Amino acid sequence: MKVFDNLARLSLALLCMLACACTQQQSSISHQHEIVFATAQAPLNLDPRYATDAASERVNRLIYQSLVDFDSQSKPAASLASWVQVNPTEYRFTLNQPRALFHNQTPLKAGDVKATYDSFATLKDSPHTAEFANVKSIKVLNDDTLIFQLKQADGHFPAKLIIGILPADLIARHQDFSHQPLGSGPLKFVTWQNKLTLQRVKDGQKFSLLEVKDPTVRVLKLLHGEVDLLQGELPPELVKHLQSKPDINVKTSIGANFSYLGLNMQDPVLKNLKVRQAIAHAIDRNAIISKVMVTNTRVASAILPPEHYTNSTNLPLYNYNPLLAKQLLIAAGVKLPLKLVYKTSTDAQRVRFATIMQAQMQPAGIDLEIRSLDWGTFFADVKQGNFQLYGLTWVGIKTPEIYQKAFASNSIPPNGFNRGRYTDATLDTLLAHENWQAITIRIHQQLPYIPLWYEGQFAAMRKGINNYSPKPDGNWDDLATISNYAH
Amino acid sequence: MNIFKRIASFCTVIFGVLILTFLLIHLVPGDPVEVMLGESASTADRVQLREDLGLNQPLIRQFGNYLSKLSAADFGQSIHTKTPIIELIKSRYPATLKLAFLSLIIGLSIGIPLGIYAALKAGKWQDLIVTLVSVRLSAMPAFWLGPMLMLIFAVWLGWLPVSGMESNTSIVLPALTLGFGLSAILTRMTRTSLLEVLNDDYIRTARAKGLTEPNVIIRHALRAALLPIITIVGLQMGSLLAGTVITETIFSWDGIGRLLVESIEKRDYPVTQACVLVVALSYVLVNLFTDILYRFADPRVKFAS
């Protein structure tokens, strides 16, 4: 029997043995000056002609440079090149001097720009191809100058030239930029296996981008020192926890990504303006922001934030007033309680918002049923108009053309993002004249979206990490300047 | 002859899985062309791409094309990353295999000895403690146990990395998370199974013949009690090889389960199809292996039965 006693003891000791075998682990967790950045979602595609997800676009901004970027007011600004509008259908771009260099040390020329944009004609499966369908031809005048000729006049054309420029010779050789990117940005590609490794061109500083889906695990990794930096996508209680840690530095900034409730305007109840106003008055945004959101979150009234160059009007806010909401519903002839179905993704924070809104709407006579669906099903339902209410966020929107794409009568899917099937002749006229101020006011009055908030941005980093701040649109541009004094 | 029957049934199951996956993927909401081109593409571009991908053809022809590509080991490429799917499987499946085998070893080395010990001490306080621990362990979900192990062994003690695959010791915590769950089931199963045979006549005879107690237990009792344990191990191994999504996600372990879930979320249909096929193959192979093990454990068992 002694044998079995010993066996049992041996089994119970296994855990200790496994752990003890790893006591040297602690000393091996050092990144040899590499800055490790944990993200909730890894980039999917490093070819800027294909990338659409936020993580890929943020990384591609660092690997490549584009002709145009945006200033703090989101106005198109020169990046690789400055431009002049020769006539309504012609733009001349001149590359800045000194010429940018690709990471293989070849200079970036006008021919590379032409090759990049010409390649869209052959990429039938690129989500960006439609953006450049209006380009008639691209003429290279010399190594520094080129002309874009358009089929139709487009005053916003320069704002579309934000695709990273690729080397013409590698395009011709069908280089797989998705996995072997080569650009002229501040960071160059090193490897991409379990993690993406990049290196800063100017000083050789290496970065690892590590996908860690679970927010709690991201925080534990930061606390343990396996990760140096993380940004966004944490529930506020974890941010507060990090703020209380002496080894961690948390920086916050205002956000520019617009969260909203989308409404199905073909729904017999929701097409009534009074009902939409009632819903707007039935949500206590300030309470949600103060209790369950990170600092610097702002109440929103339009897709584009107040600092955007098109926003010169202070729009009134729809304050929380359940009594008024109930009166509006009664005036609309709705039988109370009004039953509505709200669709959202399975993201824990989204479900939390939905649950709070459900409780807030009850005193207004709105009985909100929450349906939390996996992302693919949820987004497919939204695009197909299979919803009454849904919650989403517009990320990284810079140009006022979003109003055309999201609300014009001719932008109903599959021709645009007018997922609520909103049709408004007055708005269509305003959109045709690009009267942004009047457009913003009209949308705010008609409420095809119920505006919620611009979520604040934050980054948490270990002490010793410097020169990194979160940006309103959540980009990672400061990786170009970040420094690590800890090592 | 029996082995041919098994192989035929193996092929039937795989073919059935292929048909079901193909049909299910075409029934769920979402469209690969939408996923690839986004919402701003023109109708003409959509029609063109649909034609290029063969999605405008009748389902039966699409299935035929899929099978013919599959016969050449061509799974296609990911819609999002443009990576050949065979490369994705090659990079992810070994990680799942590694994690599954280590978890199994942990589960077996804790579960079986503890089960034997509990059976031998049946009704005593030692049995009660083992039962209590195993019930507690089996009631702990991976999404709770995983972070707890991280907190204790990584953050507080600093012995192991929190998650990831960078270090050789990264596998320990996910393997323990899975192994503990498995060991709890095996402890209960071994105890019950062994108790059933310990009072049998042949055990009494073996003892009467003067065999030592370890000999009686290991050579006689345990061998007879092994069949239900093999069944459980086979089923659990099948699940482990199918990828344990929660554990892989929590520990950032790039295995097949995580790849499958991500592909479903992103509507990356070709990847989903390939993953389901690999998972089905794993299950069927493990079942086949379990059947073979039955024969070794008990020669009276034949394939035909």
Burial A100-113 (b: 16+ CB within 10 A, else e): bebbeebebbbbbb
| Whole-number pLDDT of residue A21 | 44
**Strands A338-345 and A366-373, bridge-based pairing:** parallel
| Whole-number pLDDT of residue A333 | 95
| Whole-number pLDDT of residue B303 | 54
Instruction: Say if the Cβ atoms of A213 and B40 lie within 8 Å.
Output: no
Distance CA A258, CA A347 (A): 17
A196 pLDDT band, cuts 50/70/90, is: very high
Tell me B95's DSSP state.
H
| Whole-number pLDDT of residue B243 | 66
Instruction: Say if the Cβ atoms of A26 and B159 lie within 8 Å.
Output: yes
More confident residue, B39 or A145: A145
Distance CA B206, CA A414 (A): 78
Contacts of A210 in chain B (CB under 8 A): 164, 252
Closest CA in chain A for residue B164: A212
B134, two tokens = 């195993």
Delineate the domains of chain A, giving CATH numbers in brackets. Answer: 2-43+185-253+466-484 (3.40.190.10), 65-172 (3.90.76.10), 258-454 (3.10.105.10)
For residue A382, which phi and psi values (nearest 5 degrees)? -65, -45
Closest by Cβ to B36, choosing from A23, A125, A133: A125
Contacts of B154 in chain A (CB under 8 A): 220, 224
Instruction: Say if the Cβ atoms of B213 and A131 lie within 8 Å.
Output: no
Distance CA B17, CA B245 (A): 20
Contacts of A416 in chain B (CB under 8 A): 39-40
Minimal CA separation from B110 to chain A, in Å: 5
Instruction: Say if the Cβ atoms of A125 and B37 lie within 8 Å.
Output: yes
pLDDT of A28 higher than 50: no
| Whole-number pLDDT of residue A5 | 58
Minimal CA separation from B30 to chain A, in Å: 5
User: Which of B162, B182, B216 to mutate to probe the A interface, most A CBs <10 Å?
Assistant: B162
Quick one: chain B helix, strand, coil %, rounded to 5?
A: 75, 0, 25
User: Which of A177, A206, A217, A412 to mutate to probe the B interface, most B CBs <10 Å?
Assistant: A217
pLDDT of A46 higher than 90: yes
The tens-digit pLDDT sequence of chain B (305 residues) is: 467 777 788 889 888 988 988 887 777 766 778 778 877 777 888 888 888 888 888 889 988 988 888 888 888 888 888 889 999 999 999 999 999 999 999 999 999 999 999 999 999 999 999 999 999 988 999 889 999 999 999 989 999 999 988 888 999 999 999 999 999 999 999 999 999 888 888 888 988 888 888 888 888 888 888 888 888 888 888 888 876 888 998 998 999 998 998 888 777 888 988 998 898 888 888 888 888 887 777 777 665 54
Winning range, highest mean pLDDT, from A23-32, A367-376, B208-217: A367-376
Minimal CA separation from A323 to chain B, in Å: 39
Contacts of A14 in chain B (CB under 8 A): 106, 109-110
Distance CA A122, CA A118 (A): 8
pLDDT of A487 higher than 60: no
User: Which of B50, B252, B267 to mutate to probe the A interface, most A CBs <10 Å?
Assistant: B252
Q: Which amino acid is residue B225, in one-letter code?
A: A
- Residues of chain A with pLDDT > 70: what percent? 93
- Please say whether the beta carbons of A15 and B114 come within 8 A: no
Minimal CA separation from B296 to chain A, in Å: 24
Q: Say how many CA atoms lie within 13 Å of B155 toward its Cβ.
A: 16
Distance CA A63, CA A43 (A): 12
pLDDT of A340 higher than 50: yes
Instruction: Say if the Cβ atoms of A413 and B39 lie within 8 Å.
Output: yes
Average pLDDT over chain A, rounded to an integer: 90
Instruction: Collect all residues with Cβ–Cβ distance below 8 Å to A429 and sequence separation of at least 6.
Output: none
User: How many contacts does A have with B, using Cβ atoms within 8 A?
Assistant: 183
Instruction: Say if the Cβ atoms of A22 and B169 lie within 8 Å.
Output: yes
- Extract long-range pairs of A52-61: CB within 8 Å, 24+ residues apart: A52/A127, A52/A128, A52/B38, A53/B80, A54/A395, A54/A396, A54/A474, A57/A396, A58/A474, A58/A475, A58/A476, A59/A196, A59/A198, A59/A209, A59/A476, A60/A164, A60/A181, A60/A183, A61/A164, A61/A185, A61/A475, A61/A476, A61/A477
Instruction: Say if the Cβ atoms of B251 and A217 lie within 8 Å.
Output: yes
- The burial class, CB within 10 Å (0-12 / 13-18 / 19+), for A152 is exposed
Minimal CA separation from B214 to chain A, in Å: 7
Instruction: Say if the Cβ atoms of B43 and A124 lie within 8 Å.
Output: no
Minimal CA separation from A210 to chain B, in Å: 8
| Whole-number pLDDT of residue A67 | 96
| Whole-number pLDDT of residue B213 | 86
CA-based nearest residue to B242, from B138, B107, B92: B92
Q: What is the dihedral angle through the alpha carbons of B252, A194, A177, A74, rounded to the nearest 10 degrees?
A: 40
Strand order in the sheet with A196-200: A187-192, A196-200, A206-211, A35-39, A229-231, A457-462, A248-253
B43, two tokens = 């109708």
Instruction: Say if the Cβ atoms of B172 and A22 lie within 8 Å.
Output: yes
Instruction: Say if the Cβ atoms of A217 and B38 lie within 8 Å.
Output: no
Contacts of B251 in chain A (CB under 8 A): 217
Find out whether the peptide bond into A337 is cis, omega within 30 degrees of 0.
yes
Instruction: Say if the Cβ atoms of B40 and A11 lie within 8 Å.
Output: no
Count the neighbouring beta carbons within 10 Å of the beta carbon of residue A212: 27
A32 pLDDT band, cuts 50/70/90, is: very low
- Residues of chain A with pLDDT > 90: what percent? 78
Minimal CA separation from B151 to chain A, in Å: 7
Q: What is the dihedral angle through the alpha carbons of B263, B269, B275, B277, rounded to the nearest 10 degrees?
A: 160
**DSSP letter string, A64-88:** ---SEEE-TT--EEESSEEEEEEET
- Helices B125-138 and B85-120 pack at an angle, to 10 degrees, of 160
Q: What is the mean pLDDT of residues A172-186?
A: 94
Contacts of B31 in chain A (CB under 8 A): 380
Instruction: Say if the Cβ atoms of A414 and B46 lie within 8 Å.
Output: yes
- Please say whether the beta carbons of A366 and A337 come within 8 A: yes
| Whole-number pLDDT of residue B70 | 86
A371, two tokens = 């349906």
Minimal CA separation from A414 to chain B, in Å: 6
Distance CA A41, CA A55 (A): 7
